[in-house]
Structure 1
Amino acid sequence: MDYAFGEGSESSLLPSKSHGSIPNQNSAARYIIGGITVVALILAGSLLGRTSTRTPADNSCQAPSYRQEWRMLSLEERQAYITAVQCLTTKPSRMEHNGTTRYDDFVYSHLAVSAETHGTPISFPWHRIYIQKYEDALRLECGYQGNLPYWDWTLDASTNPLHSPIWSHEFGLGGNGSHPANCVEDGPFAAIKPQYPEPHCLQRKFSDENMYGREYTASIVNAIVTESNSYGEFRERLEAGPHRFIHLAIGGDMPELWSSNDPVFFLHHAQIDRLWWQWQLRGRGGLLRGYQEVVDVTTLLRYSGLGRDMTAGEVISTQSDLLCYGY
């Protein structure tokens, strides 16, 4: 596995013990490109070998919601989702940071604890709750009545990801950025102004004519889901493989620590969560198979003021009362 490291000291990437601190944008490594940071390695090491006898609550939800792939939504459902996201980009921030909108709150939360939540065993459980908090905000604060959709990029990998309906200007999330600043100038989010790491336009810079499609084909993803014998193996193969290449393929904001500036981030990570869900369903030893070997289920997942912090054990099952959803 090919890792790259930042030029700054390890301590510059460490979040604070309260609500987190923003890593130095000039010294922090690109976590997606490198796959892992020095601090992430240290944090991963601190979790290795720790076990717990606690198990999460399973099968306690009675009426789960089901997330659908983007192209399975009707045009009206797509528009309803887009409208709700636009709503978050106009509502005022509820947190103390440099952002101005409610959407910025989510970017800040992701950025503030990035060193401990990427390239480490808690990456998938942390993001599971993160996108759930986002889905809840769309519903409770912007009147959205649907579920968070996911983008199954394997459906586009064998043809041409550039032509995916996700990039539709009218019923998608807009297309590629334009030179020289790579600003997205069409679609529903052309007007948003991300605040991190500093105020700028939403940026995308598609990688090449095929957007690394060869790296996230259905056969590659199926092999990861069916052949990985432990959570550690599954997480490493998926995170450093297809997950990373999608961030790289989109470019702009997406390969950076502030990747959730781009609304496509949440559909991408819903797909990652879906693949973890699929892998969990295949487990002959239950949801904790291979998980306790690398993650203490009492480990605290910190969200920097974006709702309450949770433990890794609380988020293992999507069929608990806390989550209650499927794909």
Structure 2
Amino acid sequence: MSSSTVSRNSLEADQQWLLRSSSPENDLDRDERPSKPRRHIVAVLCLVLMFTVAGYVTSSVLLNNRLEHPFRIPKLPHEEPCDFAPSRPSWNSMPRHRRHAFISAVQRLASKPSRLGLSNTSMYDDFVYVHTKVVWQVHHHAISLPFHRYFVHIFEQALQNDGGYDGLMPYWDWTQDSSDPLASIVWDPWAGFGSAGNGCISDGVFARVGKFANYTENGYEPHCVTRNCLAHADAVDESDGVMHSKHWTPAIVKAIIDDSTTYRDFRQRLEEGPHKHLHAYGIGGDMASASSPNGQFIPQPKHTLSRIP
């Protein structure tokens, strides 16, 4: 099979997932309050994250602070006001030794057994598994941004407490790279996360670990992490830019912040703009599926969105 055929098939697969995720039956914007079963699923899985993935808050504390609303995180054992809001670093400007420290922490999570009791998988896989189970409940409606902000926070705690990482979760400032996305430092094999090419990562530390990822949206399927950046670059339409980069420029993000008049408008424009075009039309591969946290060692589009006030 020719490389052009592989690229075309990969691109079509990414776009098919996007079409399914954006279809009317999956879009809950017509009623921002999800049904009771969906609310309960999200609530239970938030607790799963807190009890088993993170494990940093004791069950007695949570049980004494009942979940009065399905989307409200139980009160944590911290009464003092927040005097210091930590500032996460940009991967683009982190020194090399800090980048290596982060990557090493990710590898440590991948070497530790699952906290969810999943067979033959790792603590890292727990995050992928949970995301695949709630993907339709935590996208395309009101809880999307707060859920993913909390999801990133729990992953950050795991990196610190179980991965030995002594820093904060970095983010990829993709707006800085929108003018030439394929030249971004995130694809560097030594200062980043390996190739931006088609299919399995071909260089860098994660190219040497074989089947790093264990879950897809279909369940347990050990595989190498894939990206389709070049396929998306080859299929570029001039109006979209390389990797659809014209949809995630500094000007686009500024317009979303300045022009959105409601939370709903703000969220929809983020999800249908930079978020969609980066995940499905820009990076593709694992990043274009419900198991996108497989690529979480790239500071994901959601990480950057979580820093937008």
Normalising by structure 2, report the TM-score.
Answer: 0.71
Q: Percent identity?
A: 36
Deviation, 1:186, is 1.0
Aligned match for 1:242, one of 263, 268, 274:
274
Q: Deviations over 1:253-302 (max 9, x none)?
A: 01111111112554321101112x2xxxxxxxxxxxxxxxxxxxxxxxxx
In the superposition, relative to structure 1, how do residues 37 and 60 fare at CA in structure 2: closer, same or farther (>3 Å)? farther
Q: Deviations over 1:69-116 (max 9, x none)?
A: 112211111111111111111111111345601110000011111110
Alignment RMSD: 2.7
Note the 1:1-327 alignment, pairs <5 A: 30=17, 32-38=18-24, 40-42=26-28, 45=31, 47=33, 60-97=81-118, 100-158=121-179, 160-178=180-198, 182-190=199-207, 191=209, 192-197=211-216, 198-206=221-229, 207-208=232-233, 210-248=242-280, 249-264=282-297, 266-275=299-308, 277=309
> Match of 1:274, SS?
coil
In the superposition, relative to structure 1, how do residues 234 and 267 fare at CA in structure 2: closer, same or farther (>3 Å)? same
Higher relative contact order (Cα pairs below 8 Å, separated by 6+ residues): 1
What is the CA–CA distance in structure 2 between the aligned matches of 1:89 and 1:119, rounded to whole Å?
Answer: 30
Deviation, 1:174, is 1.0
The answer for unaligned runs of 5 or more in structure 1 is: 1-25, 278-327
What is the CA–CA distance in structure 1 between the aligned matches of 2:148 and 2:89, rounded to whole Å?
Answer: 18
**Contact 1:40–1:120 (8 Å) recurs in 2:** no
Deviation, 1:240, is 0.8
Counterpart residue identity of residue 226, structure 2: Q
The answer for unaligned runs of 5 or more in structure 2 is: 1-12, 35-68, 235-241
What is the CA–CA distance in structure 2 between the aligned matches of 1:81 and 1:39, rounded to whole Å?
Answer: 39
Counterpart residue identity of residue 254, structure 1: M
Q: How many residues were matched structurally?
A: 240
What is the CA–CA distance in structure 2 between the aligned matches of 1:217 and 1:37, rounded to whole Å?
Answer: 26
Deviation, 1:61, is 1.2
In the superposition, relative to structure 1, how do residues 165 and 33 fare at CA in structure 2: closer, same or farther (>3 Å)? farther
Counterpart residue identity of residue 196, structure 1: Y
Deviation, 1:46, is 5.5
In the superposition, relative to structure 1, how do residues 79 and 228 fare at CA in structure 2: closer, same or farther (>3 Å)? same
Q: Deviations over 1:129-184 (max 9, x none)?
A: 000000000000011000001111111112x1000001110010111245xxx111
Normalising by structure 1, report the TM-score.
Answer: 0.67
